[in-house]
Amino acid sequence: MKTLHKLLLFICMLAPLASVSAQTQASTKEQGRIVPALDNVISQYGEHEAKGDAEILYKYRKITINEASEDEVITYLAIRINHEDAIPYYSQFELSFDEYYETLQLDFARVKTSSGEILNLPKSAIQIKTANDALFYNEQKELTFSVPKLSPGAIIEFQYRRKAINLAIKNHWFHTEFFSWHQRNSSTGEYSFDATGVSEVSISAPLKHKINLHGQQLSAITQKRYTQDNRQIIELSRRNIKKMVPQEMMPSHWLNSPALVLTTLDNWQQLNQFSYQTFKSGIGTSDAAEIKRLAIDITANAQNPQQKLHAIFAYVQQNIRYVYAHLGRGGLTPHSPSWTLKNGFGDCKDQSALLISLLNAAGIKAYPALYHSSGQYLLKSAPRLMFDHMIVYLPQQNNIEAGFIDSSNYKLQYPGIIPKNNLAQGFVLGDDQGTFININTQPRPNTLNMVTDYYDINDDKVSAEITLSAKGYFDNYFRSIWLQSQEKEKALKSIIKSLFASATITSLTVENDKDLFKPVVIKAKIEFAMNSKLADGLLFSASYKQVAQSFMPVAAFTEDEARHQDLYNALDLAITHTVRISDKKDLYANLIEQPVIIDTPLLKVNTSALVDEEMALQMNISIESFSLAASEIKSFTTAFNDAMENGTWLIQVKPGKLNSTTQLAGDEKAVDLAGIKNLIDRGEYEQALTNIKILLEKQEDAEGYFFKGLVLGFLNQHDESGAAFEKADSLGYEI
């Protein structure tokens, strides 16, 4: 959906935009200047507390709203370059706009050089182009201009105006105001959020308009309301906004900047009524018979409502290609289901309309739902169109659990929702709806299960099979690589190599990549060349770090010294790694090192032996979604670093059975080390511990204490385990 520039720029467009108007052509002539001359601006706003490589001396926005709720927004900026490092950020400006909704005009732009020379922008430095991230059909444009002779001490000033030509919602106005300014580096693409000295907004509107203000950091924004010439005036200002340096996994600019939402909508039901009626207007009833026949055909083999749902979802996902947004249709109006079927493609609202029509025809209730995929922009106190995608909501019915589905994501596992964060909520549309519902309802929707099976252990090499199966975020990660990457096999092999750097990959297979209702499964066979002999003992290891560094943002989770921004983890993540030795040779394992166990509200890492298998262990890492202030981050990173540094299983595998000299003659239960070893191999740890206690009551034995430490470790009694290992060491036990 494409909404106004006032809202935000989004990935999936529900509302497209129209053709270039004559008013879009940029002009170098100064017209309608809304601030004093540049020298006066410098004199008045040139000195302030906010400094940096560049600084916004003054930002002023004048908004005029007419009786029909159409607005003209004029923006002026004066920017000083203090250091050459800022030049790549300010050498070119990109002003995005939506041609369906608005026109954009550059009134003037110039540079006052460090020597005092005034250089106006040449016409050749200005152009209108399609937005770089535009896909398929869309009317997102950018007015770009390059400024001449930038050097430290130079001051840039420019003014541009937007004018509404179509409203997102008739007779209503809303606007999102960021008091700061950000610029993109023309070489690296990175953004700079530089300091701002003074930022002001003036709004003039008819008295009949009730304008509600909502937003972030309201206490830092000065507000003034009054009446003048039979119009209401709202003046807003913010001073000394500090430079913001972005860091990985920080909350969005929206949450870190002084920002306001201004809207004439009083409640979300107003938005629901408008949006739902607009959506329904595109569906109609003329093709109801065609949709009914198709629904019957699709669900012919379905035995229950759940199977009908799956059949319809698979049909739409496999037969309707997703495209961006379509020209000539603003707002939330989809094409008719028959149009989408005939053409074989559609954007998110087209696919939702078709999916809902087919489901309803099959007796399954379904509703359209709007959501913003980031989740962080959802300010519930401020009703307005601020969504970037449409999906489908299913209420609980006929053994179908309540939840959301989305057929527009290519080959993504059912229900097709790309899980970007745990905060996302869908705004469900309908005559009896108009409510927000959480997108992620599962307690642990993003899981990765990894199994490493050492099935053949020899003197010259060790062979193993790696199996990766996933849900949610991880499943989408693997599917996107396998289905969309041009070098998909190479990409997956690089993941396996990141887990086992010294291994040679001998085969790779992918299962369920085209099955929408099963998790994708990746299997790889690997070999390790051996430099030591099995008879001398081979060491096998597994660690938390081994999987975390491949599938988690380890850098952001481990570094806290240089951290100055809040840390935001958007998703619950859980990884399980099972390691087993299934070779049928007569082998036994000695535990050399075991990992720490960490149990905090945000991070849990633990490990255990699998009691139903001879030689197998399982390691688990789970991280909750969270947002931590910079002052709180150390508590998390300390625990995570502990898991990375001290989270290793180290096991020595040898051939044959234990040769013990501590046989207890006449003991019918064979309470000896060989018998205890067999109990451990079978996972009978409680019985093994009982036998060890009997053994040690009769005679102190170094190997007996070693086995006691081993068994207590498997039973997660780690303090007692450590004491037993120390006793074994003091008695001279050597591996």
What is the pLDDT, as a whole number, of residue 659? 34
Q: Does 188 score more than 80 pLDDT?
A: yes
Q: Could you tell me if 664 and 644 lie in one domain? A: no
Final residue before a domain boundary, out of 654, 684, 704: 654
pTM above 0.95, yes or no: no
Q: Could you tell me if 241 and 113 lie in one domain? A: yes
Residues contacting residue 259 through CB under 8 Å, at least 6 positions apart: 176, 177, 178, 179, 215, 216, 217
Q: Could you tell me if 40 and 161 lie in one domain? A: yes
Tokens 């001449």 map to which residue?
148
Contact 586/656 with Cβ under 8 angstroms? yes
Q: Could you tell me if 180 and 298 lie in one domain? A: no
**For residue 2, is it within any domain?**
no
- Report strand pairing: 345-346 vs 321-322: parallel
Name the least confident of 242-246, 623-627, 663-667: 663-667
Structural domain that includes position 686: 657-730
What is the pLDDT, as a whole number, of residue 590? 74
CATH assignment of the domain containing 105: 2.60.40.3140
Contact 82/52 with Cβ under 8 angstroms? yes
Token pair listed for 459: 């003197």
CB atoms within 10 A of CB 461: 12
Q: Could you tell me if 84 and 73 lie in one domain? A: yes
Sorting pLDDT into bands at 50, 70 and 90, what band is 531? confident
Final residue before a domain boundary, out of 264, 295, 311: 264
**Can you give 246-299 as a three-state secondary structure string?**
CCCCCCCHHHHCCEEEEECCCCHHHHHHHHHHHHHHHHCCCCHHHHHHHHHHHC
- Overall domain count for the chain: 4
**For residue 15, is it within any domain?**
no
Q: Could you tell me if 458 and 385 lie in one domain? A: no
Q: Could you tell me if 612 and 468 lie in one domain? A: yes
Final residue before a domain boundary, out of 236, 264, 292: 264
Nearest C-alpha neighbor of 143 from the set 102, 174, 86, 188: 102
Query: Burial letters for 537-566: b for 16+ Cβ neighbours within 10 Å, e otherwise?
Result: bbebebbbbbbbbbbbeeebbbebeebebb
**For residue 650, is it within any domain?**
yes
User: Which of 555 and 300 is assigned the larger pLDDT?
Assistant: 300
**For residue 106, is it within any domain?**
yes
Q: Does 69 score more than 80 pLDDT?
A: yes
Token pair listed for 124: 């050749």
- Mean pLDDT calculated for residue range 639-658: 82
Q: Side-chain half-sphere of 518: how many Cα atoms within 13 Å?
A: 9
Name the least confident of 89-93, 103-107, 215-219: 215-219
What is the pLDDT, as a whole number, of residue 132? 54
Sorting pLDDT into bands at 50, 70 and 90, what band is 59? very high
Q: Does 212 score more than 60 pLDDT?
A: yes
Kindly list the distances between the CA atom of residue 469 and the CA atoms of 341, 462, 511, 609, in Å, as whole numbers in the listed order.
34, 23, 9, 21
- Mean pLDDT calculated for residue range 123-130: 84
**For residue 683, is it within any domain?**
yes
Q: Does 129 score more than 90 pLDDT?
A: no
Which residue type is seen at 325?
A
User: Which of 367 and 652 is assigned the larger pLDDT?
Assistant: 367
Tokens 């927000």 map to which residue?
436
Q: Could you tell me if 215 and 81 lie in one domain? A: yes
Which residue type is seen at 307?
Q
CATH assignment of the domain containing 726: 1.25.40
Report the distance separating Cα 113 and Cα 498, nearest Å.
Answer: 52
**For residue 636, is it within any domain?**
yes
Which residue type is seen at 144?
T
Average model confidence (pLDDT) across the chain? 84
Nearest C-alpha neighbor of 193 from the set 249, 256, 144, 238: 256
**For residue 1, is it within any domain?**
no
Q: Side-chain half-sphere of 445: how many Cα atoms within 13 Å?
A: 23
**For residue 6, is it within any domain?**
no
Residues contacting residue 487 through CB under 8 Å, at least 6 positions apart: none
What is the pLDDT, as a whole number, of residue 444? 67
Q: Does 686 score more than 50 pLDDT?
A: yes
Q: Does 568 score more than 50 pLDDT?
A: yes
Q: Could you tell me if 676 and 600 lie in one domain? A: no
Report the distance separating Cα 609 and Cα 586, nearest Å.
Answer: 19
Q: Could you tell me if 116 and 230 lie in one domain? A: yes
Q: Could you tell me if 430 and 473 lie in one domain? A: no
Q: Kindly report, residue by residue over 437-478, the tens digit of the pLDDT.
A: 988 776 667 899 999 999 999 888 899 999 999 988 899 889
Q: Does 682 score more than 70 pLDDT?
A: no
What is the pLDDT, as a whole number, of residue 283? 87
Rounded to 5 degrees, φ, ψ at 25 are -65, 125
Report the distance separating Cα 78 and Cα 110, nearest Å.
Answer: 10
What is the pLDDT, as a whole number, of residue 671? 53
Sorting pLDDT into bands at 50, 70 and 90, what band is 29? very low
Q: Does 412 score more than 90 pLDDT?
A: no
Q: Could you tell me if 494 and 635 lie in one domain? A: yes
Q: Kindly report, residue by residue over 247-298, the tens digit of the pLDDT.
A: 888 877 555 666 788 999 999 999 999 999 999 988 878 889 999 999 999 9
User: Which of 649 and 405 is assigned the larger pLDDT?
Assistant: 405
Contact 558/637 with Cβ under 8 angstroms? yes
CATH assignment of the domain containing 389: 3.10.620.30
Q: Does 622 score more than 60 pLDDT?
A: yes
